[in-house]
Amino acid sequence: MKITRIRNFKTLTLQFIFCIIFNAAHAQKSDSMFLKINKSHFLQGDTLNLEIELSNYREVSNSATIHLWIEEIKTGKKWHYRYPLLNGVLSAKLIIGNQINDGNYALNVLLQKKFFTLEGKLVNQDDKDVVLNYFLLTKNMQMASNVISLDKSKSFTINNLLFQDSASIFFSKPKHKNDQLQIEIKTPLDSNIIAIDTITRFIKIGKIADVSDTIITKTSSYQFTTNNNLYTTIMPELIVKAKSKKLIDDYEKENVSGLFAGSDATVLDGLESDEIANANDLFNYLTTKVGGLNIKFDEEGNRELTWRKRSAEIYINEIKVDPEFALDIITSDIAMIKIFQPGVPVSFSSGAGGTIAIYLKNGAYKKPNKIGNHFCILGYTGLESTWK
């Protein structure tokens, strides 16, 4: 799923319709939303095909959001996935993981006419601040950047971003003047879900005898709520890790790929050491750690790193960026830096000046922050994902 900007469209409020009907057929609809799944009894390893069509999407919105809450009837454990509904159509697949217990499950499909939006405010504002730069890096290594305007209250809105899973976003002032920005953000999709249409279906998982009577008995008075969960799993699933002597090894295993995983690199640890976080200037810090690495100024006064008189390439989360972008990063947000000497191949465009690969803290490796200039945000579930 690529990062996409979706245009705004006029919306109309629809009457809330709550529909809970147990039906053995594979298709079910409300007054406006049609839901189809490929079958009602699955085994672990099977694929659940989910097809949704909104007949009156032009009256609602050309871009909306589908929330899928799966609830295990016996325990109340819930899984939450969300998908983009574009032009009233969604086709998604969920592979049922081997760890999913045998039993009866409710599929709750909620339609929300909101699309992904990021709202923010510059806290340490100055009267001269009228715009900000933002730079977005997704987990699957897509990149987007743009300039956003600030209103009189120094607030801003980034409308209708479409990206898969999660992303890192950080802000800077024009001309990459990093003045330790203090920004507050919120994503309305992560707040309360106000559904304008709902459909519930029931399925069986595993090698179970005929339990259709049990399903009817246990679901005849079924009511779904996102509150007061006995167990809750929020998309995407984050695993809290116990601190170990080699936490950086766990991070590298999960986040480093391809030629970047080569062992011919100097690794600087930002997870268990405060040395990177305490650095006042990233480039100056790197030159003290790597012999032969120097800072060079171009004709416009911008800085770059050179090695053996050749420009070093800078990567952030394995995406090649302009060297000045690296200076916008708050050093405490850096999980790891891998430094490859000149001549070590890392990518197809690896230069003769070496490679600096910077990795940002994410998921369980990053403490949630509500203020700063770098944030981890959740996007949409991939159209082909695993339920686990």
CA 58 to centroid of chain Cα atoms: 28
Residue ranges and CATH numbers for the domains of the chain are 4-115+191-235 (2.60.40.1930), 118-187+371-377 (2.60.40), 247-365 (2.170.130.10)
Which secondary structure element, helix H or strand E, spans residue 86, and what is its range? strand 77-86
**Rg from Cα positions in the chain:** 24
CA 128 to chain centre: 32
- Cα–Cα distance for residue pair 28/14, rounded to 1 Å: 19
Q: What is the pLDDT along the chain (388 residues), one digit of tens a residue?
A: 545 444 333 322 222 222 322 233 345 555 589 999 999 999 999 999 999 999 888 888 889 999 999 999 989 899 999 999 999 999 999 999 999 999 999 999 999 988 999 999 999 888 888 999 898 888 777 888 889 999 999 999 998 788 988 888 888 888 655 567 889 998 888 777 788 999 999 999 998 655 454 554 455 678 777 664 444 444 444 444 444 457 899 999 988 988 888 778 899 999 999 999 888 889 999 999 988 899 988 877 788 899 988 889 999 988 888 887 888 788 888 999 999 988 887 766 566 788 999 999 887 787 766 677 888 888 999 999 999 9
Q: How far is it, in rounded angstroms, from Cα 272 to Cα 280?
A: 18
User: What is the spatial distance between Cα 376 and Cα 368, in angstroms, rounded to a whole number?
Assistant: 8
∠ CA(11), CA(227), CA(59), 5° rounding? 10
Count, residues in the chain: 388
**Alpha carbons 318 and 180: distance in angstroms, whole number:** 24
How many CB atoms within 10 Å of residue 279? Answer: 19
User: How many Å from the N-terminal Cα to the C-terminal Cα in the chain?
Assistant: 21
Q: Sign of dihedral through CA atoms 136, 257, 381, 239?
A: negative
pLDDT value of position 112: 92
Per the DSSP assignment, residues forming a β-bridge with 156 are 120
Query: Which residues have a Cβ under 8 Å from the Cβ of 32 and sit 6 or more positions away?
Result: 14, 17, 54, 55, 56, 60, 197
DSSP code of 73?
A: T
